[in-house]
Structures are given as C-alpha cells and as structure tokens.
Chain A
Amino acid sequence: MIYEFPSAQTPIRQGDVFYPIPRIEMSLSELPVINEAGVVEVRRWNDISAMGKPVVASLGVRPTVGIVISQNCDAVRADDIALAEIRDFTDVERKSKQTASAKAWVSIITQHARLNLKWFYLPPDNRMGFHQKMGVDFLTILRVARIDLENMRAARLGRLNDLATEHFRERLSDFFRRYAYDEWYPLNGDEYAEYKREYHEAKPFDWQASQSIAPNLPPSTE
C-alpha cells in the first residue's frame, strides 16, 4: 500500500511508525508518590510541585503504536522525538464505527478527511501489522528520547512512502495551523437558531440576538 520498509540502519524521519511506544497516564489530582523513606502516598501534583523537586511516582503505562511527527532535522538531532498515537480508525473517528459499504468508506477517506483535520487515515497492510483501517490521532502526542527511539529502530514497523509522507506533513501542519473561532458568527438569526439546535453551547453575538428572520435577498439579475 502506502508504506515502505527501511532497514534498521536508516535514520528516523517523519512518518516512521514504531511499536511499542509507551503511553503514560497520570492524574494531577491523584499521584502515587514514593518518598525517600520508601513510603507511598497519593498526593496532588500542586502540593508536590510546590516543593520544586523531582519526585518518584507510580504511573500506568501502556504500549501503543506511534508515528513520528518531528521534522526530519529534529528527528536526527533533537533530544526528544514527538510521535502521534495510531489507533484503530473506528476508534479515532467514531463516525465510521457503523461504516460497512465501500461507498461510505470512500466518503470518509476522501471527503471527511478534508473536513476533519484531527486524524490521518492509514490503510491496512499486513507487513505493517495493520490488519484493519488505522488512524493517526493528532490529539494524542507522545514523547520519546531520541536515543531510545534510535535504539529501537528494529521495532520500526515501516514508514509512509513519499506521496503519503508529503500528505501527512501537510495534514499535520493543517492540524496545528487551525485556530479557534466562533464559526456561527456570520449566521443570520434563523441560521443561528438552526445551528444552536445542534450546538447548545453557542452564544449569539449582538447582531444575531436581534435577528429572527432571514433577509430577503434581491433576485439575481443574471
């Protein structure tokens, strides 16, 4: 499919896929800390951090699949390499959980991919270990020390080919280039009311609160 399989000696680059990458989870309100006396206490991070000292904690870690998002120059020089988590596509994009027909999948992989910038689609490939459709979740970023990742290059499942890498790079940029804005601001009163039916949290702007009827546009002269 869209993958390549470089040798273990090949330097790490953007688009390389690794397994297993550790995903660490912690709760800042409930952190099991082991103090110097060997006693374990569950504490709040705020209390711990106020001391300004490193601590040792017990955290849950699970192995996951990750794709390198660091730029190529950083991937060979920087201390740390950033990866985005890869999961089952139906898990990343829940709109697809009931999808079965080829037509529906085409719609998701082509059209929805342009609308939702939070994921990147990865097709199945047995050589990659992807037995079903997979997705890169740009919302989940992982960090691994570069030297550690270099030492586990044998665990590199593969990498995106040139075409897919180019697309991936742009999608990654698009994701971080997004900016938050209230998308309903240009809607007229009726349109806003319709929008609010689905997005309850939307608060009207001054110019929308006073509108209730869609303006009658003049007929086209063409």
Chain B
Amino acid sequence: MRDYSYTSFQAEECGDGDFAESEKNQREYPQMKVRGSALDRAVQVGVVFFTLAVSVPTSPVDYSRIESNEESITCSALLSSPSSRRVTLMEARRVALRVLEEAEARRLRFAEKEAKRGLQVEDLH
C-alpha cells in the first residue's frame, strides 16, 4: 500500500508582502509527500531549467528577419534591454521560488474570498 501524507508547502526563504503572507499561511498549503523517503520539502520545491516555446501569432514581429539573425538577436537583445537585470543562479533560484510562493498565496486569498460569498454551510442546515 502506498504511504503518502499531505504536508504544508514550505519555501526555503521568505520576504515581504505576498511572500510574507504565504509564509504565514504556509501550514495551509497541502502537498503530497512520500513519507519516509528522501523527498523532503527542500527537494520537493524544485527549480528546473525549462525551455519555453514561444508562439506569438498576433505579435507584429517579423519572424523571417528574426530567423535570419537568430544568433545575434537571441544573445544581444537579452543583454541590451533596460528592463532586464543580471542575476546570479542563486538569485534566479530565489526568484523562481518566490514566484511559486506568491502563486500559492494568491490562490489561497482567492479561495478565502470565494468562501465568503454566497451560501454558507450553516445556511443549508
């Protein structure tokens, strides 16, 4: 028989704002965990390198031009944009984990808000 238990979602590091709220509520995030295995929480919240296939059919970008300049655009455009900031791998990992945490916090807030609307359990008794 499989032996699972649900444990709280827990990130390694916490900050301010939404992230802090998610830390406060972290015991309420369920997560399936293999009891007694090497999969502890730190391992369960992984960060992966993920290839994103870009498909932007409504974009005004000239794809033929991009194809012909593949090498230069992929590299130089990334380095020249004012909206980007260089980070270390460790910081990238922290950003990814924070995004994960914030998503959980948002979902929980939405669920709480939804629960306050409409008929309550006691209304149907």
Contact = CB atoms under 8 A, between A and B. Distances in A.
A43 B81 contact: yes
B96 A60 contact: yes
A177 interface: no
Interface stretch (A17-25, A71-79, A159-167, A205-213): A17-25
Nearest to B63: A52
Contacts of A36: 71, 74-75
Interface in A88-126: 88, 91-97, 99, 103-104, 107-108, 111-112, 115-116, 118, 126
A203 interface: no
A129 B46 contact: no
Contact of B74 (A53, A88, A92, A107): A53
Interface stretch (A8-16, A27-35, A144-152, A186-194): A27-35
Contact of B100 (A34, A62, A93, A198): A62
B71 to A, nearest CB: 8
Interface string B88-112: 1101110111011011000110011
B99 A88 contact: no
A213 B51 CA distance: 61
What class of interface size applies to chain B in its complex with A? 35 or more
A175 to B, nearest CB: 14
Nearest to B39: A63
Contacts of A129: 2-4, 32
Interface residues of A, number: 67
Contacts of B31: 62-64
A60 B47 contact: yes
A50 to B, nearest CB: 6
Contacts, number: 195
A60 B99 CA distance: 7
A49 interface: yes
B87 interface: yes
Interface string B2-30: 11111001000000000000000000111
A87 interface: yes
A157 B2 CA distance: 8
B36 interface: no
B38 interface: no
A36 B70 CA distance: 11
A199 interface: yes
Most A CB atoms within 10 A — which of B28, B56, B84, B117?
A: B84
B117 A57 contact: no
5 contacts: A41-B87, A50-B56, A56-B51, A57-B49, A61-B50
Interface of B: 1-6, 9, 28-32, 39, 44-54, 56, 59, 61, 63, 66, 70-71, 73-75, 77-79, 81, 83-89, 91-93, 95-97, 99-100, 102-103, 107-108, 111-112, 114-115, 117-122, 124-125
